Homo-oligomer: A and B are copies of this chain.
């Protein structure tokens, strides 16, 4: 028999609990603040979130049980394979051992479904019949569309207008699962109307789409809002990735030296990295946890650690985060999932405390890495995932220089089947790198909400 390629787990190995990294953080999470600068009571969020998710948002319990209904739905595609990338290693000529976790195997094509299903479940349980959300690249909107359908919840997706136009097939996918998809900014909300009044041709932004979805949910009793990243409960749900991976590394008789994941809002990175951070905290062989972001939207590597809003308009509470300023408008890079102005509070705090690392990589190099991967391993990766692949390949090439046989592990968070237009533009030489000018970042940070000054 040849060497093992895919390390599989039985369905019984799907985790029974999510892992809450808060239990192992050296300091408690920074509080969420209201517009008045005072710590917000959790039930202030109840206009848009169900109680169960608010409880998860503030929980300090290490283990949170996964409802049986959710585990059964995870069985549609989980456990996902841990794959040893033999052919990529050979193509690079590296002594490093490279593994990836393939989250693109989900029906919606990315890890996002791990959180969409429990979010829909808890909302349904509390009598909610409608959900609003935003989507940029379309991965999150697709996932919530399917999850809503499963639980008989109507889903309305505010899709960033530029994505709505450039990615019609993500839209078709959401419609196939029964959701309603609107281009944002729309005429349906005050936030959208204001944006259109100022810029009739506005291409939209993730922050603006969030504002529209939150505004609608806050105004209707039957409607809640669901977010695909950033918040603690979303990162919590994604820990199934890392928890499965740890079981798979035990089977492989190996253990990562370094883990790489793309980082926009942080759910991809938190999902794979946090369960290993628990072992770091417990004093096991330390694993370096590397968040990979684009040079064009470098919140961790070039942003400021401060209180800021989660949306572009200022409707959300204030969260301590590495941010480029909530009205930061990143250039049109093709990894739409990484175009968020700030990182999750949990990832930000862990980064601030030196427990996780971050690097930024330029766009062209990420596509080059994605193509190298596709030609050796087969799967064509999503542009977001290409960021992790780039950083992992860079490390593998350093290992080639040094002769070190490190074990490298990355999250292949999604496939690129709905991103081929970006690959086309790369092949046509139409993409370019973008390094955000220092002054622009300074300007955006100068517009941080005033309350940040006092904290």
Contact across chains for A149 and B375 when beta carbons are under 8 A apart: yes
Contact across chains for B12 and A10 when beta carbons are under 8 A apart: no
Chain B residues whose CB sits within 8 angstroms of the CB of A150 once the complex forms: 87
A371 located at the interface, meaning its Cβ lies under 8 Å from any Cβ of chain B in the complex = yes
Residues 403-437 of chain A, each 1 if its beta carbon lies under 8 Å from chain B, else 0? 00000000000010110110110010000000000
Report Cα–Cα, A89/B168, bound state, in Å: 31
Contact across chains for A75 and B2 when beta carbons are under 8 A apart: yes
Which of B72, B178, B371, B420 touches A375 (beta carbons < 8 Å)? B178
Contact across chains for B72 and A378 when beta carbons are under 8 A apart: no
Instruction: Using A172-B423, A420-B173 as known contacts, say yes or no to A108 and B378 having CB atoms under 8 A apart.
Output: yes
Number of copies: 2
Report Cα–Cα, A2/B16, bound state, in Å: 12
A77 located at the interface, meaning its Cβ lies under 8 Å from any Cβ of chain B in the complex = yes
Report Cα–Cα, A417/B109, bound state, in Å: 10
A85 CB to closest chain B CB (Å) equals: 10
Report Cα–Cα, A4/B75, bound state, in Å: 8
Chain B residues whose CB sits within 8 angstroms of the CB of A169 once the complex forms: 169, 417, 420-421, 424
Residues 1-40 of chain A, each 1 if its beta carbon lies under 8 Å from chain B, else 0? 1111110101110000000000000000000000000000
A105 located at the interface, meaning its Cβ lies under 8 Å from any Cβ of chain B in the complex = yes
Contact across chains for B420 and A172 when beta carbons are under 8 A apart: yes
* Closest Cβ neighbor of A5 among chain B residues: B75
Contact across chains for B6 and A380 when beta carbons are under 8 A apart: no
A303 CB to closest chain B CB (Å) equals: 33
Which of B68, B176, B417 touches A374 (beta carbons < 8 Å)? B176
Given A6-B76, A8-B8, A76-B87, 4 more A-B residue pairs with CB atoms under 8 Å apart are A5-B11, A5-B72, A5-B75, A169-B420
